[in-house]
A and B are shown apart, each in its own frame.
Chain A
Amino acid sequence: AQECQNLEVERQKRLERIKQKQSQLQELILQQIAFKNLVQRNRQSEQQTNRPPPPNSVIHLPFIIVNTSKKTVIDCSISNDKFEYLFNFDSMFEIHDDIEVLKRMGMACGLEVGKCSPEDLKTARGLVPKALEPYVTEMAQGPINNVYITG
């Protein structure tokens, strides 16, 4: 009975860790698809226009954004060497990283919300190595929740 109890505890711990690792893997797959899609889109648009966009109209990764209402008063102090910034906001704001922006741009083919059209799924599967294709198919229907048993 004692051994059964220990095994039960072990089983719970492993299930928890597997759940956490599956969402980590899901996020990594999303990022890989989003980044490849972004590069492909930019490559195609540069080929169409036959030149890169004006430098001051693009923002290279990595970046983060802070968005707030235009009514917000932002008090900003900057060190001379631009190594340090201090902002004081008088109202709410949100911070997002570049991956969040790519997802909102649709670069992750809707996989992040588990709503992926068949052609988007085809595109997404084409952007990942073979070993990850089953995960992408699974993600297209919603967050991965079943444990892939090897063998």
Chain B
Amino acid sequence: RHRDLQKEVSHLTEAEDKLDELITKCNLQLRLLTEDSQNKKLGYVKCQDLRKSFDSPDQLVMVIRAPPETQMQVSEPSEGYQVSLKSTRGPIDVFLCPDD
């Protein structure tokens, strides 16, 4: 039992190391992808994409574009929900996705 457990734990150690390596590589690939200037230009969705994604027509879709590290806080006071946005690196853009 001891020998089997030792063997399994060493296999799991190898598998975890491999996962760590793949996750690191994936994060790097994603960062390179999103920082590429061409991809930055082509990395957009259209308003109708948003409308299609939130199917019910009675939905209002508000879009928030914020600089990195903007803090969003959602609190639950007794009368309703409060959402606050605080940026330290630039203005925040908020707009409603227009109807079709």
Question: Are chains A and B touching in the complex at the 8 Å CB cutoff?
Answer: yes
Q: A59-B50, A132-B26 are in contact. Are A70 and B45 (CB under 8 A)?
A: no
B78 at the interface (CB under 8 A from A): no
Report yes or no: A59 in contact with B91, Cβ–Cβ below 8 A: no
Q: Is the interface of A mostly helix, strand, loop or mixed?
A: mixed
Report yes or no: B13 in contact with A14, Cβ–Cβ below 8 A: yes
Report yes or no: B62 in contact with A98, Cβ–Cβ below 8 A: no
| Nearest-neighbor residue (CB-CB) of A92 within chain B | B81
Query: Which of A29, A36, A82, A101 has a CB less than 8 Å from the CB of B53?
Result: A101
Q: How long is the Cα–Cα vector from A129 to B86 in the complex, in angstroms?
A: 38
| Nearest-neighbor residue (CB-CB) of B90 within chain A | A83
Q: How long is the Cα–Cα vector from A101 to B12 in the complex, in angstroms?
A: 35
| Nearest-neighbor residue (CB-CB) of A29 within chain B | B26
Q: Which A17-49 residues have a C-beta within 8 angstroms of B?
A: 17-18, 21-22, 24-25, 28-29, 31-32, 35-36, 38-39, 42-43, 46
Residues of the B chain whose Cβ atoms lie less than 8 Å from the Cβ of A71: 58
Report yes or no: A67 in contact with B59, Cβ–Cβ below 8 A: yes
Q: How long is the Cα–Cα vector from A76 to B20 in the complex, in angstroms?
A: 43
Q: Which B9-42 residues have a C-beta within 8 angstroms of A?
A: 9, 11-20, 22-23, 25-27, 29-30, 33-34, 38-42
Report yes or no: A32 in contact with B82, Cβ–Cβ below 8 A: no
Report yes or no: B54 in contact with A67, Cβ–Cβ below 8 A: yes
A-B contact pairs, 14 of them (CB 8 A): A18-B16, A18-B19, A28-B26, A29-B26, A42-B44, A63-B64, A66-B64, A67-B62, A69-B60, A86-B82, A86-B83, A148-B19, A150-B15, A150-B17
